[in-house]
Amino acid sequence: MTAATDLANTVQTDIRRELGLRPIINASGTMTVFGASIMVPEAIAAMAAIAGEFVEMQHLHQLASEAVSSATGAEAGFITASCASAITLAVAATLTGDRLLAIERLPDTTGLKREVLVQLGHMVGYGASLEQTIAMTGARVVPVGTVSMARDYQLDEAITESTACAVFVVSHMTVQYAMLSLEQVCRICHAKGVPVIVDAASEYDLRAFLACGADLVVYSGHKFLGGPTSGIVAGSRALVRAAALQNRGIGRGMKVGKESIAGVIAALQAWGRRDHQAIRARERQALDLWLQVMAPSADVHGRLVPDPTGNPLDRLRVTVLPSSLWTARRLADALAAADPPVMVRDYQTDLGYFDLDPCNLHPGEAEKVAHQLAACLKL
Ligand SMILES: *Cc1c(COP(=O)(O)O)cnc(C)c1O
């Protein structure tokens, strides 16, 4: 088969075209609205291989726990449907512990500790609100501090007999200044026996938050890990067990099948073997190409910006100049309407810019993005 027919076959068998979907190029990053990430081949192969087989699910969960432990340094781990599910189940674990009747009764929290402390600047939404994700258990969110500042005494004095846990969010979406650090939150909470849950859905670092003292850390399986749609709970053996037991209650509708568990195990193993340097270098090539294409434009200015939460990832910030007839919003929309459509990281267009993220591109797509940019800007 020649390279040309090979290419023709891939184009023909693009399932998106078969289904009538637009074949979008994702220059927005790891966004669940666009299908999160490119699954790693190891995860796809594991899912296909286990799909037709019967397994003892308890044993598969045990193997997943071991895979999470070795990737994160946690005592134990548990796989669920999504990071949002993982937050709900982790919070539920702190309400009920391993008491089965309490688990079966949620969201009725009669007699249970049910207050969950969250810094107000961490009350994010990721397509749904963190507050609702927590409240689904029957817990009540108690905000700490103000939108723009949280102080240690505000957390310390908010802890009561009813406090079940604190939830700490690591994300570009939180307020990025004057919040309590994870070290501070762990110190204050642990002094009063309150466990700390970290939502690290979209973070590369699988070890740092546990090493910092968090009792449970939750991740998305389908973001940087390149696994199937799933959530990972990692942490203390007792709390992970209590989170897993929620599958007898509110977790039932959040359960994952054998294929997702096998896929996450494979993705975690692949993460350990991934050549992060080589990926960084490839991302850098895309950024350089885009910078070079934009350089002659009188409409836009480009500069590299590091990831706000310290993930090893740079993005290209495209600022539309006030003198331009474009606005950031209109340019983002024009790119999304192009053929093929280019989806940019566009949630701050009201500030006059959008970002181009190189972390989810197939070979050849960086060039297509460059081409669409040049076409829109008439370069
Ligand atoms: C994406 C995200 C979530 C939700 O993750 P899902 O796995 O899609 O449920 C939760 N918290 C943060 C900070 C996120 O970025």
Atom of ligand 1 nearest to the CA of 169: 13
Interval between CA 198 and ligand 1 midpoint (Å): 12
Confidence at 366, pLDDT banded by 50, 70, 90: very high
Residue 19: how many other CB atoms lie within 10 Å: 7
Least confident of 11-25, 86-100, 347-361: 11-25
With beta carbons less than 8 A apart as the criterion, state whether 238 and 346 touch: no
The average pLDDT across 163-188 equals 97
| pLDDT digit string, tens, across residues 248-263 | 999 999 999 999 999 9
With beta carbons less than 8 A apart as the criterion, state whether 262 and 46 touch: yes
Confidence at 173, pLDDT banded by 50, 70, 90: very high
The full set of domains in the chain, from first to last, is: 2-30+275-377 (3.90.1150.180), 41-273 (3.40.640.10)
pLDDT value, residue 3: 47
Interval between CA 36 and ligand 1 midpoint (Å): 10
| pLDDT digit string, tens, across residues 116-131 | 999 999 999 999 999 9
Confidence at 13, pLDDT banded by 50, 70, 90: confident
Q: What percent of the chain has pLDDT over 70?
A: 97
The residue type found at 65 is S
Q: What is the mean pLDDT of the chain?
A: 96
Task: Give nearest CA residue, ligand 1 atom 12.
Answer: 201
Confidence at 214, pLDDT banded by 50, 70, 90: very high
Interval between CA 204 and ligand 1 midpoint (Å): 13
pLDDT value, residue 8: 47
Interval between CA 127 and ligand 1 midpoint (Å): 8
Q: How far is CA 131 from CA 118, 186, 212, 299, 365, in A?
A: 9, 20, 24, 41, 37
Query: Tokens for 239?
Result: 């709390």
The average pLDDT across 217-237 equals 98
Q: What is the best residue among 171, 197, 218, 219 to mutate for testing ligand 1's pocket, by most ligand atoms within 8 Å of CB?
A: 171
Interval between CA 230 and ligand 1 midpoint (Å): 10
Q: What is the best residue among 87, 119, 199 to mutate for testing ligand 1's pocket, by most ligand atoms within 8 Å of CB?
A: 199
Task: Give nearest CA residue, ligand 1 atom 14.
Answer: 201
Task: Give nearest CA residue, ligand 1 atom 11.
Answer: 201
Sheet with strand 300-306: strands edge to edge: 300-306, 314-320, 353-356
- Is pLDDT of 2 > 70? no
| pLDDT digit string, tens, across residues 277-308 | 999 999 999 999 999 999 999 999 999 999 99
- List ligand 1's pocket residues with C-beta within 6 A: 32, 82-84, 126, 169, 171, 199, 201-202, 220, 231
Query: Tokens for 146?
Result: 């103000």
pLDDT value, residue 12: 59
